[in-house]
Amino acid sequence: MGEEKPIDLGAEQLLAAENSERKIAVEVKSFIRESRVADLEQALGQYTLYYDILKRTESERKLYLAIPLNAFTELFEGEKFGQILLDNNRLNLVVFSPETEEIIQWIA
């Protein structure tokens, strides 16, 4: 991507990036609580809020939720209920490795 900057929506880690082809915003979540489901519920609430705000203020920007690989595996792989969210186009994901700080997969 090109330039990266924070978007001031009161988010702890909401980043904006853009290049000549597209503009995105990424909400980064750590999923460190004992309950991954509770983490997902909170992240989805924030994602929905940011999605609606961005739709009004920066409609050209596509929002992604960044989650660690272990949370993705627990919540989204196979027949898990997180997959239903993806099947229904409820969110866009960036799956990353916290250890290597690399992006593993983009899901839109």
DSSP output for 40-73:
HHHHHHHHHHHHHHHHHH-TTEEEEEEEEHHHHH
Nearest alpha carbon to residue 18 among 3, 31, 35, 28: 3
Whole-number Å distance between alpha carbons of 29 and 39: 8
* pLDDT tens track, the chain, 108 positions: 445 444 444 444 555 665 557 788 888 888 888 888 899 999 999 999 999 998 998 888 899 999 999 999 999 987 788 888 898 988 999 999 989 989 999 998
Structural domain spans, the chain: 3-107
Question: pTM of the full predicted structure?
Answer: 0.80
Residue 81: Cβ within 10 Å count: 10
Tell me yes or no: is domain 3-107 CATH 3.40.1350.10.
yes
CA neighbours closer than 13 Å in the CB half-sphere of residue 88 = 7
Structure-block tokens of residue 54: 């961005």
